[in-house]
Amino acid sequence: MADAILELEHLSKRYGDYLAVDDLSMVVPQGAVYGLLGPNGAGKTTTIRMIMRIIAPDSGEVLLDGRPVDDDRRRLIGYLPEERGLYRKMKVLEHLVYLGTIRGVSPGESRKRATAWLERLELADWSAHKVEDLSKGMQQKLQLIGTLLHRPRLLILDEPFSGLDPINTRTLKDLLLQMAADGVTIVLSTHVLPQVDELCTHICLINRARAILAGTLDEIRAAYGGNVWRVHTELAPETVGALPGVVSVKRFADELLVELDGGAGPRDLLRELVHRGDIDSFTRFTPDLENIFIRAVEEDRSNVG
């Protein structure tokens, strides 16, 4: 596995009697796009605020490159908070220059980088406007640029897609994929699961303050997919259902979903199928993330003692 850039070790945070984060551990490998998922109130924002040292954990530790985060090393991170905070009366480009300089970039370099980003995110015409003239989605793009000006190695984005229309959602997704390809590690919290499917290499699902599922998306999909195969065929479900090792057959759009018992392998099934008729396609069934999310949360709920 790639080296970890960020490690959370047994983090806990209590608000009065309420345990908002409970013994949460998480490892973010270098270069990952790491999705922090979970229902409302699960503890995602609290976790991110502890990473950013905005609030202190009651116990546990956050390590960046294997060492505790201090003010200096926090500069390696670009952080987009859940609540957006911009000075409404400032002009767009000036605001970005200000954000760049407070993160240690010279005014000249901040201006250069900000101008390029405004161009890239189609906000160049707004450079001399006041922030308050921009729509909510545009302000969000502006704030995102502010988090990128110091070229962080780790981006932490709290609900970056909220309030964006489909076109800007696409733009942001492409931008994040490009940054990931350039080696930037990204941690993002979101409820928008199709985005996670397209973007994330790893996820951690938080429910009721605890991590209930974590790993690479591929591992998690395989674990939840079971021994189930999608078959596009003219064969009748009854014919397929009678084959050795087949536990159940369901129709799924114009395909059959064939569940095999634990010991049966796909090769034997495929051989039997080909023997009996035409097979147009044969692939492993991978459940979508929404199903996994709902199943994991329901299983966790039914585990409540």
**Contact residues for ligand ATP, defined by CB under 6 A:** 15, 18, 20, 38, 40-46
CB of 43 to ligand ATP, least distance (A): 4
- Dist. CA 159–CA 195, nearest whole Å: 11
Q: How far apart are the first and last CA of the chain?
A: 35
* Gyration radius (Cα) of the chain, Å: 23
CB of 11 to ligand ATP, least distance (A): 12
CB of 20 or CB of 131, closer to ligand ATP: 20
CB of 18 or CB of 89, closer to ligand ATP: 18
CB of 291 to ligand ATP, least distance (A): 20
Enumerate the β-bridge partners of residue 188.
35, 157
Residue 84 host element (H or E): none
- Dist. CA 115–CA 139, nearest whole Å: 15
CB of 233 to ligand ATP, least distance (A): 42
DSSP assignment string, 194-245: HHHHHH-SEEEEEETTEEEEEEEHHHHHHHHH-SEEEEEESS-HHHHHTSTT
CB of 217 to ligand ATP, least distance (A): 20
Token reading at 199: 């973007």
CB of 74 or CB of 210, closer to ligand ATP: 210
CB of 44 or CB of 141, closer to ligand ATP: 44
Query: Hey, what amino acid is at 119?
Result: E
CB of 114 or CB of 188, closer to ligand ATP: 188
- Dist. CA 238–CA 111, nearest whole Å: 68
Buried b (16+ CB within 10 A) or exposed e, 112-130: ebbeebbeebebeebbeee
CB of 69 to ligand ATP, least distance (A): 18
CB of 49 or CB of 221, closer to ligand ATP: 49
